[in-house]
Amino acid sequence: MGLIEQKLFPGKKAEDIPALAKAETEPTIVPFFADHDIMVNPYPLYQRLLRDSPVHELGDSVVLMRYADVSAALRHPKVSSDDAHGAGQQSRIASGELPQNIVDSLGQRSFLHRDPPDHTRLRGVVSEMFTPRRIERLRPLAQRLVDEAIEATAGRGEIELIEELAYPLPIKVVCELLGIPAKEHLGEVAWKRSQLCCDFEAPASAGACVHYSAGVQDDMTAYFSRQIEAKRGNPGDDLLTLMLEAEQRGEISESEINDTCRLMVVAGHETTISLITNGLLALLRSPDQLELLRTRPELATGAVEETLRYDSPIQFTRRVAAEDLEINGTRVRRGTTILLWLAAANRDPERFTDPDRFDITRPDSHQHLEFGGGIHYCLGAPLARMQGEVALATLVRRLVNPELTLDPPIYMPDAVHAIQAMTVKFTQVNPAS
């Protein structure tokens, strides 16, 4: 187990996890991260909150759970992504609770945490690399990596899905996109899952994680400084070169290039791992859906969208009210943190019919909020979709009689609904197509 898991779940094993009793009785989302029983299946709790308390206060924050509210907040012009506006952060800085090095690091935030005009400028520099056409060029690489991972395990009759496939796939693909060497990258200690999934880039709100999170950020910054220097002498047809060209035109600074590199790895890594694991888990638990995808591989697109809706990799995101405002009738005071519970909105019965059913033919699954909305809509969505389609369609087609060795698997305590390990047994491997 990683550091954070050890701290939160000392001595816990999967077989110690009782059924979902707590989700029936706990009144708020507070115990979510600290309670593995809820992490295993938070959805009964979300259904109860959607029914009884869809808007509620959590400390200094307001939690929004309904699809309509989350969607409106994502698009509200006065709802900010820059938590420097947050009353909580300001008071922690003023009281000296946050060490100076962390206060200094708050300036090194990627465009995910910035508002216009900086957000518009920085997103504009990189967006041309994320068109569906451009991303399609990475599909053969993704297919090759998935096929190789499956073949490597064929003789063993089982695959540790995360370690052997879902972890290396997105990191290698994103390294290719950035134009940096994947091998060296994979060797870096700072890229291990439990470290990436701590509250990275938000040390000011990371509580006990604050030093740890800032340390990971420092390691990554140093790593990308070296990569940026190497790329200056060796340009290519890649994202890092695109940013260095924009630097020449005065559109982005070197430190902003570094911030953007870190964002790409963090935003695109743990999330894609969870898309693949959550998707295969849902398919294995719904054999009719698995069979449907096996016989009709063109449904891979629907399987990816339905996974994102049904078992969302990112459970929630954060915003701050930049001024006193109203969201669908809820009044929010300036400086209040707003928690947008994407995973609950994606199961809102007012938006999706029979929301707890996993159905890869659902006609409106792509309307989920799992890629956010408004100006911060996930830039990497075409890349995530492509990798998810390749991985799920290939796993389902090539693994014969796939079966989980442990259900439920063990989850990590994080805003990414992340499984720690997931072994799948099979009787044989079909040839690559």
Contacts to ligand HEM by CB under 6 A: 111-112, 123, 174, 263-264, 267-268, 271-272, 275, 313-314, 317, 370-372, 376, 378-380, 383-384
The CB-of-177 to ligand HEM minimum distance in angstroms stands at 7
User: How many Å apart are CA 334 and CA 80, to the nearest integer?
Assistant: 10
**C-alpha distances in Å from residue 182, one per residue of 224, 231, 256, 287, 390:** 13, 14, 22, 35, 20
The CB-of-384 to ligand HEM minimum distance in angstroms stands at 3
Which residues have C-beta within 8 Å of that of residue 204, sequence separation ≥ 6?
83, 89, 92, 93, 98, 102, 103, 106, 210
Nearer to ligand HEM, 378 or 418 (CB): 378
The CB-of-200 to ligand HEM minimum distance in angstroms stands at 13
How many Cβ atoms sit within 10 Å of the Cβ of residue 238? 17
Q: Give CA 363 to chain center in angstroms.
A: 24
Residue 360 · residue 306 · CB < 8 Å: yes
The CB-of-178 to ligand HEM minimum distance in angstroms stands at 9
Nearer to ligand HEM, 65 or 153 (CB): 65
Nearer to ligand HEM, 9 or 339 (CB): 339
Nearer to ligand HEM, 174 or 283 (CB): 174
Residue 415 · residue 316 · CB < 8 Å: yes
Task: Dump the DSSP string for 277-291.
Answer: HHHHHHHHH-HHHHH
Give φ, ψ of 20 to 5 degrees.
Answer: -95, 30
Residue 417 · residue 313 · CB < 8 Å: yes
Nearer to ligand HEM, 191 or 371 (CB): 371
Nearer to ligand HEM, 153 or 338 (CB): 338
List alpha helices for 95-209, DSSP H: 100-105, 118-126, 132-136, 139-153, 161, 168-178, 182-187, 193-196
Nearer to ligand HEM, 257 or 264 (CB): 264
Residue of this chain nearest to ligand HEM (CB atom): 380
The CB-of-112 to ligand HEM minimum distance in angstroms stands at 4
Nearer to ligand HEM, 344 or 383 (CB): 383
The interaxial angle of helices 254-285 and 168-178, nearest 10 deg, is 150
Give φ, ψ of 428 to 5 degrees.
Answer: -160, 170
Amino acid (one-letter) located at 282:
A
User: How many Å apart are CA 120 and CA 30, to the nearest integer?
Assistant: 34
Nearer to ligand HEM, 263 or 281 (CB): 263
Residue of 121, 230, 128 lying closest to 179 (CA atoms): 230
Residue 172 · residue 178 · CB < 8 Å: no
The CB-of-368 to ligand HEM minimum distance in angstroms stands at 9
Which residues have C-beta within 8 Å of that of residue 158, sequence separation ≥ 6?
405, 423, 424, 425, 426
The CB-of-272 to ligand HEM minimum distance in angstroms stands at 5
**C-alpha distances in Å from residue 296, one per residue of 143, 283, 299, 359, 364:** 18, 14, 6, 14, 19
Nearer to ligand HEM, 44 or 374 (CB): 374
The CB-of-123 to ligand HEM minimum distance in angstroms stands at 5
The CB-of-401 to ligand HEM minimum distance in angstroms stands at 27
The CB-of-320 to ligand HEM minimum distance in angstroms stands at 11
Nearer to ligand HEM, 271 or 337 (CB): 271
Q: Is 263 helix (H, G, I), strand (E, B) or coil?
A: helix
User: How many Å apart are CA 143 and CA 201, to the nearest integer?
Assistant: 31
User: How many Å apart are CA 277 and CA 229, to the nearest integer?
Assistant: 36
The CB-of-295 to ligand HEM minimum distance in angstroms stands at 25
